Amino acid sequence: MDDPFRYGSAVSAPYFVGREQEMAELEIDLRSGQDVVIISPRRYGKTSLVLAVAERLRKQGVSIAYLDLMPCSSKELLADKLATALYDGLVGFADRALHKVQELFGGVSLRPTVTIGPDGTPSVELGAGERSRDVDAVLARLLELPQKVAHDRGKKIVVVLDEFQEAPVIDPHLPALIRSVWQMQQHVSHVFLGSKRHVVERLFVDQNEPMYRMAKPMILESIAADTFAAYIRDRFAATGQQIDAAAVSRILEITDCHPHDTQELASFAWGLAVAEQVTATPELVDRALDRVLKAENARYTEIWSRLTPHQRLVLGALVASGGASAIYSESYRRHYRLGATSSVSRSLKALLRDDLVEETSPGEYRVPDTYLRAWLARLTATSTTLTVQARDTITLSEMVAVEIEPLTLARGLPELPHK
């Protein structure tokens, strides 16, 4: 029996949940030539949303070119990957036998070669001759290509750049190059998204950045509880497995309707219910959470090991307080022993940079990762103490300086209270 839930990668129907309003809005924007930047916390389904809308648009005759910037470690590799994305998106599969690659790229004075993999996936390489030229000029010509094709063929084109926070990493001047070319394209829509919210926001919201106001911001919120509840019930029912209403509510209470985390916890709960041949209950959901945290333990322990003692203290305080709008106040700093405001500021800046903390509104901070919050809650427990071994107990402020081995952590932490 197949798991009815999916997480960890982009999903499509029947695993794609809700977002009808966002899909309709994005579809209208892209058909209208509007550039869009999608902003949300990590693992909120940005890529899944864009791919779902792209599939709708393809059925309406719109050409879609999609590029993930994460594998592009240099401008030279970016040029190859961009050329591949444009060829794959702008030349229909049925036409590839009829169109020589020069027909697409000749108009911008490039002579790449194309190889087709066993699965029919094309790969474009510009070759040593092209790479020996000014790579910025090559990239500029590639960025010009969608507009030329849209004009020549009289059709709409959408170009998607995923993991856009990598653009200034590839080259600090790359965002400026992209804007200089794309801001003049009247027949092409551009979509930008990325997994580091604070970087993407800065690139498009900070007036000192070249991408400032280049695209319309689309803010993704968590999925409505009633929508997710119906989805969970339907997915359980599709496999003949039962889940009671209280268990559905418990899943959403734990995950706060976070798209990825809800799918993950529902998957673990479904697996337990199937294995034990029982109806999923709140108690079973809590045991499923135990399994999720054990599965994630190595990752969170590695994150914890990278943090400074004060960063650990700030992170633990935000979890213990449920987020903070007064983290710089004297009473908050005294209660959680955070020290001087300058120390809090430095730690927050680092935690924000690593996406371990997000600023939900000016001056208000929280830990967005559902399971990191639960994992940290087990470190601090309800009394802000940690039982590392049977006879050793330390306070939260003392705990931050302790290096905790993964196996010790998994073995020695108190269980979360089961409701």
| pLDDT for residue 383 | 37
Mean pLDDT rounded to a whole number for the chain? 85
| pLDDT per residue as tens digits for the range 270-281 | 999 999 999 999
| pLDDT for residue 106 | 64
Residue 120 pLDDT > 80:
no
- Distance in angstroms (rounded) separating the CA atoms of residues 372 and 263: 16
Residue 195 pLDDT > 50:
yes
**Contact between residue 17 and residue 259 where contact means Cβ atoms under 8 Å apart:** yes
Lowest mean per-residue pLDDT among 26-30, 75-79, 298-302, 414-418: 414-418
Residue 7 pLDDT > 70:
yes
- Distance in angstroms (rounded) separating the CA atoms of residues 406 and 157: 49
User: In one letter, which amino acid is 151?
Assistant: H
Which residues have C-beta within 8 Å of that of residue 124, sequence separation ≥ 6? 80, 83, 84, 86, 87, 101, 112, 113, 114
Smallest Cα–Cα separation from 247: which of 197, 192, 218, 285?
285
Domain 225-298 -> CATH class: mainly alpha
Question: Which listed CATH number (3.90.1150.10, 3.40.50.300, 2.60.40.10, 3.40.50.2000) goes with 20-219?
Answer: 3.40.50.300
Pairing of strands 358-361, 364-366: antiparallel
- Distance in angstroms (rounded) separating the CA atoms of residues 20 and 230: 15
- What percent of the chain has pLDDT above 70? 84
- Distance in angstroms (rounded) separating the CA atoms of residues 157 and 308: 47
Task: State the pLDDT confidence band at 95, using cuts at 50, 70 and 90.
Answer: low
Q: How many CB atoms lie within 10 A of CB 295?
A: 12
Pairing of strands 36-39, 122-125: unpaired
| pLDDT per residue as tens digits for the range 225-237 | 999 999 999 999 9
3-class DSSP state of 163: coil
Q: What angle, 0 to 180 degrees and rounded to 10, lies between the N-to-C axes of helices 259-276 and 225-238?
A: 30
| pLDDT for residue 101 | 62
Show me where the domains of the chain are located.
Answer: 20-219, 225-298, 308-412
Please state the rounded mean pLDDT for residues 298-303: 94
| pLDDT per residue as tens digits for the range 105-118 | 765 566 677 777 77
Burial class (CB in 10 A: 0-12, 13-18, 19+), 216: middle
Q: pTM here? A: 0.80
* CB burial string 108-125: b at 16+ within 10 A, e below: bebebebeeeeeeebbbe
More confident residue, 393 or 403: 403
How many residues are there in the chain? 419
Q: State the CATH architecture for 308-412.
A: Orthogonal Bundle (1.10)
How far, in Å, are 116, 273, 286, 298 from residue 407 at the CA level?
Answer: 47, 27, 21, 9
